[in-house]
Amino acid sequence: MKSDRKSKVYVHLLFWVLYYILEVYLDFYWSRYQFPDMAWQIRLQNTIVLELGYLLIKMPLAYSLLYVYEKTTIKRFLTYVFCCFIIVTAVLIHRFFTHYIIYPHIYGVTETLDGKQASGFINGLVAFNSFMDLIFMAGLIFGVEITRQKSLLKEQISLLKTEKLDQELSMLKAQINPHFLFNTLNNIYGMALKKADETPDVILQLSKVMRYNIYEATEKYISIDKDVENLKDFLQIQQIRHRDLVIIFNEEMDHPIQEISPLILIQFVENAFKHGVSETLGQSFLHIDLKLNNGVLHYHIENSKEEKPHGNSTKIGLKNIRRQLELLYPKHSLTVESTNDRYIVNLIIDFNDSSRF
């Protein structure tokens, strides 16, 4: 609300300054023909003064009309009546100021109309001229204010869309497989009962993964090397849980500090474990190739699966990932292939694309 008020003050102040300069220029130019014998310095001085007087008439008119237009809750007919009353009052004041103050006291002459002395401050033609002058000003201020409000509304809509997308992304991130934590804790419990030497290492890796998910993953973007490090910690824990699992992880990054949305990469791996590796009865494997070159990420995953997987639960995980990619990287490329014994995922993200919000 405060920013809206400040914006309105700045825009309207700029409008009146520019409008005043325009009116001074036009009246000064007109006075060359109306008062050819008057020195230009005097004409300029008179023009500056009289336009200040006109401004004191036009500004109340403008804001009275804006107030009636924006604030009134009465019927439309009565709104028109109020507006007409305000305009007629302003025209009368404008004519009085012109006829009785400007001409006799500033220019030192009697107001004339077509070379003849004006009989009074109310006359059809001069009143029409005053009316057009005031309406022109009112039209300008209404145009400025409506344009400002539309621009502000556009910014607010854009902000709401961004906030909505951020909330949706937060919800999608929160849907990351919670079974990993419970299963890992169960494994740690079993290892503790056996007094296995790897227990402290697993606890350390789990604490690193949880710290990343709770704190660092809340950022909108993070360097890809941190995301890859979290992925490696996750794989080390899974390697202990699945001792017969063969994991091959190749990485090649020419710009490790390239920013990426947290938890994008790990979700494909979680999906591989949840719907492939964990269901494989025989020898299971997981192959990951990650290459970042000139701002383009190539992410390839292959993992084992049973020939007849149980249900279609994998579609839910992929739907979540696809939605995040649509929001973050609209021009990404994602292909998922399923054969008799494996899943194959290929993801390409061009970080040079500026279309992401």
Task: Say which CATH number the domain at 249 has.
Answer: 3.30.565.10
* pTM of the complete model beyond 0.75: no
Query: Domain total for the chain?
Result: 2
Average pLDDT across the chain, whole number:
80
CB 309 within 8 Å of CB 320: no
Task: Decide if pLDDT at 291 tops 80.
Answer: yes
234 shares a domain with 124: no
Whether 347 contacts 308, CB under 8 Å: no
Q: Which of 343, 327, 184 has its CA nearest to residue 335?
A: 343
> Is 324 found in the same domain as 189?
yes
The answer to whether residue 182 scores a pLDDT higher than 80 is no
Which of 135, 165, 195 terminates a domain? The answer is: 165
Nearest to 253 by CA among 323, 154, 182, 351: 351
Nearest in space to 285 (alpha carbons), one of 266, 309, 302, 263: 302
| Residue 335 phi, psi dihedral angles, 5° rounding | -125, 135
pLDDT number for residue 119: 56
Give the residue among 214, 177, 206 at the shortest CA–CA distance from 314: 177
Residue 198 corresponds to which amino acid? E
Instruction: Provide the domain limits for residue 92.
Output: 2-165
Provide the 8-state DSSP code for 216: G
Task: Dump pLDDT digits (tens) for 133-175.
Answer: 888 888 888 888 888 888 887 877 776 666 666 665 665 565 5
- What pLDDT digit, counting tens, does each position of 68-118 carry? 877 665 567 777 787 888 888 888 888 888 777 887 777 777 766 554 555
Residue 296 lies in a domain: yes
Whether residue 47 contacts residue 61, with contact meaning beta carbons closer than 8 Å, is answered with: no
pLDDT in tens, 314-344: 455 677 788 878 878 888 999 999 888 888 9
Co-location of 187 and 291 in the same domain = yes
